[in-house]
Amino acid sequence: MSEHDPALLSAEIDIRGLTKIFGEGATAVTAISKADLDLDRGAFISLLGPSGCGKTTLLRIVAGLEAPTEGSVSIRGLPVWRGRKRSRKATRPVSMMFQEARLFPWYSVAENVALPLRITGASNADRMARAREICATVGLKGFEDHRPAQLSGGMRQRASLARALVTDPQVLLLDEPFGALDAMTRDTLNLGLMEVCARARVTTILVTHSIAEAAFLSDRVIVLAPRPARITNVVDIPFARPRTLDLQRSTAFQDIVADLRTQLMEGHDA
Amino acid sequence: MPRSANFWRIALPAIAVVVFLVGWSVYVRTAEVSAFVLPPPEAIAVALGHLILDPNLWYHARITVTEAVSGFVIAVTLGTVLGFLMARFPPVEWAAKPFIVLLQLVPKIALAPLFILWFGFGLESKIVIAAALAFFPVFSNALIAFKSVDPGDSDVMTMLQANAAQRFVMLELPNALPVVLTGMEVSVVMSMIGAIVGEFIGGSEGLGYLAVKYLQELSVPNLFAVVVVLTLVGLCLYLLIGRLRAWLAPWHASSTGSH
Ligand SMILES: Nc1ncnc2c1ncn2[C@@H]1O[C@H](COP(=O)(O)OP(=O)(O)OP(=O)(O)O)[C@@H](O)[C@H]1O
Ligand SMILES: [Mg+2]
């Protein structure tokens, strides 16, 4: 889509010609092929695409967990990758929520949520108070002292979201955060997430399999197709913010959802 | 659980033990087994009763426990540290590998006389034998445990910009603990064996020495009684590890399971 514009160097996240190939020779898998993407500060974009089309891989490269085969990623002008070495400085403002909850079983829910603050050296009282506060906002009040094994799958995801938010990140990478949640809780958390992201102008990349969720939350939806994995389309979502759940009932919204569905299916057939 | 199931869970093992003891007693009497070979259980019970009241026994028991526990502590410390270093720094593993494999293949018991030669007839040689036997279960478990950090958990720490010390304290150590504790459960038994074998072959103190002494006196009920005491001591040490597990790794299934 957009050609490289020097004025966009101020972009919060800048992805240029990103390619990732796993393996070599006959068994090589192209997970991402020449992806270009830029996000201004506070932008909320979603990645939509079939299973195995490279969404997680894209997030992991942005997060500095997987080195790209080609191309570059910059966060606030700092390259995330120098060759195969990740830059701690560039990834400092980034918080990632993984596809699995990834809580540590030896800590309580509150201790898990407080872990990022413990690592940055916050005092025990401060970080636990903050952890309890954020547990309450994701609906885990009363479960702070439970162990992760005592939570349901959806509750673990919420604890994982709380851990991702506890540091007030400037860049948020969310890999199917609400997959295990019921529709009502999902709506509530989506509204909460939009509010947090808007208030702190958090730049967010969300991976989801829900077309409606992508359309509801995002400024832009990136449609990906598999084999070879690539960006097939970028759909701007024009609705004003703040958005309410009523938006989902409007015809304009449903038209966009239908349009996205068609594009996803085309990608599938290609 | 229904009440009757609860009842049988306690009653059945009790009945089984009683049947076993009665059967033993009846067999010894009817088959006219020599009391030198296999005394009836009641004779052992009497001997045990006398032995337990004898302060001499507790002196010897203290010696054996001291040897076994010292050897165990040395083995756990060395095994955990070396296991961690080898898991964390592959060159250490490459360098240490040939020695580890060789030492693993040597029957450690066969080294016991050598240790007596090197460290004398006192406590030291028994501690070394106990440590030698107890080392490998902890070491090999620690090596696997410190190697088996889930890459996804490691990614979490990477995203949180954790340094090496934080990684160790918050991820690698707690992740390894349940498996290391399992190694310790085996090791504590091995260290008892080591201490007793050391006392068998060169000692003037300890329960192993006492057993040999009773054998020479052909005091078989006393010999059995010593074995019972040894078993009880071993059981106490084993249960202690269970307490340690409940305290150090309460989140792990092994802590709430059958122990
Ligand atoms: N570490 C790896 N080694 C080899 N191949 C990999 C690796 N990680 C991912 N792949 C391959 O890259 C492709 C994209 O994987 P990725 O996990 O990014 O998909 P995804 O879009 O997140 O799928 P899903 O929606 O199922 O989570 C897949 O074909 C996968 O097999
Ligand atoms: Mg994925």
Tell me the per-residue pLDDT of B82-128, one tens digit each, with 9 for 90 and over. 999 999 999 999 999 999 899 889 998 899 999 999 999 999 999 99
pLDDT value for B2: 63
Amino acid symbol at A215: A
Mutate to test the pocket of ligand 1, among A20, A51, A53 (most ligand atoms within 8 A of CB): A53
Convert B86-104 to b/e letters by CB count within 10 Å (16 or more is b): bbeeeeebeeeeeebeeee
Q: Given this structure, which CATH class describes domain A6-93+174-269?
A: alpha beta
The percentage of residues in chain B with a pLDDT greater than 90, rounded to a whole number, is 77
Q: How far is the CA of A72 from the centre of ligand 1 (A)?
A: 19
Binding site membership of A234 for ligand 1 (Cβ less than 6 Å): no
Give yes or no for residue A220 having a pLDDT over 50. yes
E strands in B69-179: none
Give yes or no for residue A5 having a pLDDT over 90. no
**What value does the mean pLDDT of chain A take?**
90
**Ligand 1, atom 5: closest residue by C-alpha:** A22
Where along chain A do its domains lie? 6-93+174-269, 100-168
Distance, in angstroms, between B62 CA and closest chain A CA? Answer: 36
pLDDT value for B1: 55
Q: How confident is the model at residue A172 (pLDDT cuts 50, 70, 90)?
A: very high
ipTM: 0.90
Binding site membership of A55 for ligand 1 (Cβ less than 6 Å): yes
Q: How confident is the model at residue B34 (pLDDT cuts 50, 70, 90)?
A: confident
Where along chain B do its domains lie? 1-33, 39-256
Residue B147 sits at the chain A interface (C-beta within 8 Å): no
Tell me the per-residue pLDDT of B94-103, one tens digit each, with 9 for 90 and over. 999 999 899 8
Counting from 1 in the atom list of ligand 1, the atom nearest the Cα of A224 is: 21
Residue range A235-244: mean pLDDT, rounded: 90
pLDDT value for A122: 92
Residue range B54-80: mean pLDDT, rounded: 95
Measured between beta carbons, which residues in chain A are less than 8 angstroms from residue B251?
105-106, 147, 149
pTM, 2 dp: 0.85
User: What is the three-class DSSP state of B146?
Assistant: helix
pLDDT value for A241: 87
Q: Which CATH architecture has domain B39-256?
A: Orthogonal Bundle (1.10)
Residue range B131-144: mean pLDDT, rounded: 96
Measured between beta carbons, which residues in chain A are less than 8 angstroms from residue B160?
115-116, 119
Contact yes or no for B249 and A100 at CB 8 A: no
Residue B252 sits at the chain A interface (C-beta within 8 Å): yes
Give yes or no for residue A205 having a pLDDT over 90. yes
Q: CA-CA distance, B182 to A137, in Å (whole number)?
A: 40
Describe the strand order of the beta sheet including A220-225 as a list of residue ranges. Answer: A94-97, A171-175, A203-208, A44-48, A220-225, A230-236
Measured between beta carbons, which residues in chain A are less than 8 angstroms from residue B177?
106
Residue B164 sits at the chain A interface (C-beta within 8 Å): no
Distance, in angstroms, between A5 CA and closest chain B CA? Answer: 30
Contact yes or no for A119 and B166 at CB 8 A: yes
pLDDT value for B259: 40
pLDDT value for B46: 92
**Ligand 1, atom 29: closest residue by C-alpha:** A52
Closest by CA to B52, choosing from B178, B233, B191, B241, is: B233
Tell me the per-residue pLDDT of B215-258, one tens digit each, with 9 for 90 and over. 999 889 999 999 999 999 999 999 999 999 999 999 887 776 54
Tell me the per-residue pLDDT of A102-157, one tens digit each, with 9 for 90 and over. 999 999 999 999 999 999 999 999 999 999 999 999 999 999 999 999 999 889 99
Give yes or no for residue A212 having a pLDDT over 80. yes
Distance, in angstroms, between B12 CA and closest chain A CA? Answer: 34
Q: How confident is the model at residue B182 (pLDDT cuts 50, 70, 90)?
A: very high
Tell me the per-residue pLDDT of A56-80, one tens digit each, with 9 for 90 and over. 999 999 999 999 999 999 999 999 9
pLDDT value for B176: 96
